[in-house]
Amino acid sequence: MKKIGYYMKRILNMNFTEMFKTINKIHNRSGKSRIFIFFDMIYCSYKYLAGYTDYFLFYFEDLPNETRKTYITRGVNNGYLKTLNDSTYYHFFRNKVEFNQKFEEFIGREYLDLRKTNLKKFEKFLKKHSVIMVKPIDQSGGANVSKIVIDKTTNIEKLYEVLLQTKQYLVEDYVRQHKEMNRLCKASVNTLRIVTVRKNNHTTVMLRAIRIGNGIRDVDNFHSGGMYTLFDEKGVITKPAMDREGKLFEIHPVSNVAIKGFKIPFYKEAIAMAIKASEKIPEVGLVGWDIAITDKGPILIEGNELPGYDIYQSKIHLSENREGLKPFFDRVIYGEENNKN
């Protein structure tokens, strides 16, 4: 009954215009009829709780049912979140100031909350930190995040007023990343995304990924022009990077550094930091941690209480048999690999 209720709720809230646009895209890439795709999409939405975006991203039109059932889809992921995450604790992750305060031992940088900072304190902060990052306290995906270089021409009073007007209340010392990470892409801080599950007083690392800036923008976020790929237990990138449009990169388009085979410094320490951070709020058991690597080691940028499930199951980043991540997640979260849906 829960599955039927979830399914009916999804139907009532579905954007059919976008759905049919997606069907056209799938038709164009696969050559399969739109009618076949439509009914197959409906089948997958009920059988595997897969939205039309899931169907598109995972190339479900090419997969047999035995493989389809191994994917974490939107409905499956919602089940994980309900099992592991207590939403009453989400404010620690959604409010960036609260996050910095709660996870202060891992932050490794100074910051200001402009809502509680006068102009004099702001000026004093800028005398110490000539490059800053300014952020809204409650937005994600790199939205309205800016890097600002302070010099003799900077009108500090005007900057202070503008930041208050744009609600970019969080002002942080700019993270100076490790020289190797800078060599990969110096325009942005390239962060590791480490997904953990905390259950029964034990933390399991579920995913190890790295987000890389495109060399143009100041952020590495996937939804802001960046790319991502995976790295192994030795800290070595194992696959090409992919951007949101599905374009693959063996070589970084700006730095010309080979992405596959790149060795990430301090990766062991970063993994250890994610595990230790996961212990701070065990009521939120499924978290995606964003960690930067500096010359002195890793520092924590933020935690995501609703970590994405889709990009890590792209066909380029899965094994040759195209099996998804659901069996592994089920085993860790539910203690079994059988289909919980």
State the DSSP code for 297.
E
Q: Which residue shows structure tokens 């994980």?
A: 80
Top pLDDT among 10 and 126 is at 126
340 pLDDT band (50/70/90 cuts)?
very low
324 pLDDT band (50/70/90 cuts)?
very high
pLDDT tens digits for range 27-36: 999 999 999 9
Q: What pLDDT score does 144 carry?
A: 76
pLDDT tens digits for range 130-154: 999 999 988 765 567 888 999 999 9
Instruction: Please say whether the beta carbons of 264 and 211 come within 8 A.
Output: no
Domains observed in the chain: 2-81 (no CATH), 87-101+178-305 (3.30.470.20), 110-173 (3.30.1490.20)
Positive or negative torsion for Cα 311, 299, 84, 236: positive
Q: What pLDDT score does 339 carry?
A: 46
Could you count the other beta carbons within 10 Å of the beta carbon of residue 237?
22
How far apart CA 241 and CA 213 sit, in angstroms, is 11
Instruction: Please say whether the beta carbons of 292 and 164 come within 8 A.
Output: no
Cβ partners under 8 Å of residue 282, min gap 6 = 198, 201
| Inter-axis angle of helices 16-30 and 34-47, nearest 10 | 120
Q: What pLDDT score does 341 carry?
A: 46
Q: What is the mean pLDDT of residues 116-129?
A: 96
Top pLDDT among 13 and 323 is at 323
Range in 7-16, 80-89, 193-202, 251-260 the model is least confident about: 7-16
